């Protein structure tokens, strides 16, 4: 399904209920599954990723197909390995099969996991036989995926003995590891993190009812809209001022792009700022998911900035750096944007109609991976969305 997107006034005034954080939701689902006592999770994300993880955790099937949910695949790789006496085949979409899993599998095998590759070494699908995992000392590269580390941390309290995780190289997306540990601490798990070493003793998760805050990553597209609008007053609901999400940094990054943001009565208000000092360099080692909205915004403003810390983007839903470069070139010609089965491609290019006029966004359903109501929310902001049929495509 393809849409034509435009905005007749370039003035954006709206109130938006942002989706719940899928990063927090997915971690809490794992904690819930590992906890001996039951507890309820309120305001769980309705994203495809979270739904697929929830379905997998409740599945009685031997074959678990996680679809395009890369995070869920990584978390399940560790979790399924702990289910003593059970055997699974874990697989996913063609893209998931191309995303490396070797570093995580190597670490799990080091602590006793019985995992083997069914097709290509280092990639899914996997055969996982659940056994009692030992624990011990494991080294893992921190520059490949923070999700490998979070996956190991989440199961660590259930291991036979203490897990000592030695992280080599510079850590990418470090706030996501901090998020994992903070959530584990909320559920009774103590840990130490000194230098490149994280230690977690064998212990139990403690049940606790919770409600999940909104997704700061999803807010980035509204910051982008605010920056590119002529005038705006955007009220974003559900965000936490003291969030454990690293992408709260979006407030600081877009302040340099002409967006003033302030919390009022538990809502975040975005307005235009008269001051904008465009950055010459942006380090996204901690926040690579913000690359697409930032890159698209800078391009629309005619600003060149050097990005660093984005090396892992080649292994996301698509090669995000290549995909963005390719589609940005279309803004002065065809204005037909391909999304490469990547939710963030669709959501970061749609706001560009504020600068380039009507755009065609293809395969618009991809947003359901993280922000199912994105298009409906855009309409609340005054965007015009027309469905293209075969006759007018």
List b or e across 36-49, with b for residues whose CB sees 16 or more CB atoms inside 10 angstroms: eeeeebebbbbbbb
289 is catalytic: yes
For residues 342 and 293, give the distance between their C-alpha atoms in angstroms, rounded to a whole number: 13
What's the order of all strands across the beta sheet hosting 2-6?
A: 336-337, 359-361, 2-6, 384-388
Dihedral sign of CA atoms 310, 110, 105, 184 in order:
negative
For residues 306 and 275, give the distance between their C-alpha atoms in angstroms, rounded to a whole number: 21
Closest CA to 281 of 294, 266, 262: 294
Torsion region of 99: left, alpha or beta (phi above 0 gives left; psi -120 to 50 gives alpha): beta
- Residue 6 structure tokens: 């435009």
φ/ψ of residue 302, rounded to 5 = 70, 30
Spatial CB neighbours of 194, under 8 Å, sequence gap ≥ 6: none
Among the listed residues 48, 289, 342, 377, the single catalytic one is: 289
For residues 224 and 126, give the distance between their C-alpha atoms in angstroms, rounded to a whole number: 39
Q: Could you tell me how far CA 357 lies from the centroid of its own chain? A: 29
Any idea which residues carry the catalytic annotation?
289
């Amino acid at each position: 399904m393809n849409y034509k997107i435009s905005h007749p006034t370039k003035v954006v005034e709206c109130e938006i209920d942002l989706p719940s954080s899928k990063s927090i939701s997915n971690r809490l689902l794992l904690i819930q599954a590992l906890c001996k006592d039951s507890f309820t999770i309120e305001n769980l994300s309705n994203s495809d990723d979270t739904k697929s993880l929830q379905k997998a955790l409740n599945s009685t099937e031997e074959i678990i197909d996680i679809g395009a949910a890369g995070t869920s695949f990584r978390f399940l790789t560790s979790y399924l390995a702990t289910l003593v006496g059970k055997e699974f085949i874990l697989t996913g979409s063609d893209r998931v099969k191309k995303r490396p899993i070797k570093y995580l599998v190597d670490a799990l095998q080091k602590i006793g996991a019985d995992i083997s590759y069914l097709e290509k070494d280092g990639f899914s699908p996997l055969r996982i036989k659940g056994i009692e995992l030992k624990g011990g000392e494991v080294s893992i590269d921190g520059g490949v995926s923070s999700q490998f580390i979070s996956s190991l941390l989440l199961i660590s309290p259930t291991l036979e003995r203490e897990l000592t995780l030695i992280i080599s190289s510079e850590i990418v997306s470090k706030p996501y590891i901090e998020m994992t540990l903070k959530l584990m601490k909320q559920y009774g798990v103590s840990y130490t993190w000194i230098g490149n070493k994280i230690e977690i003793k064998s212990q139990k998760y403690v049940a606790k009812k919770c409600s999940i805050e909104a997704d700061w990553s999803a807010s980035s597209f509204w910051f982008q809209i605010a920056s590119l609008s002529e005038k705006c007053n955007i009220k974003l609901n559900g965000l936490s001022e003291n969030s454990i999400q690293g992408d709260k940094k979006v407030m600081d990054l877009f302040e340099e792009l002409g967006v003033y943001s302030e919390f009022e009565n538990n809502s975040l208000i975005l307005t235009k700022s008269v001051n904008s000092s465009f950055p010459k360099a942006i380090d996204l080692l901690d926040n690579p998911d913000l690359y697409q909205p930032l890159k698209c915004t800078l391009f629309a403003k005619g600003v060149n900035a050097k990005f660093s810390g984005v090396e892992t983007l080649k292994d996301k839903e698509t090669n995000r750096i290549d995909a963005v470069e390719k589609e940005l070139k279309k803004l002065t010609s065809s204005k037909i944007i391909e999304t490469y089965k990547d939710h963030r491609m669709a959501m970061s290019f749609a706001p560009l109609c504020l600068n380039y006029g009507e755009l065609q966004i293809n395969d618009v359903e991809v947003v359901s991976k993280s922000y199912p109501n994105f298009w409906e929310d855009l309409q609340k902001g005054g965007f015009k969305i027309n469905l293209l049929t075969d006759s007018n495509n």
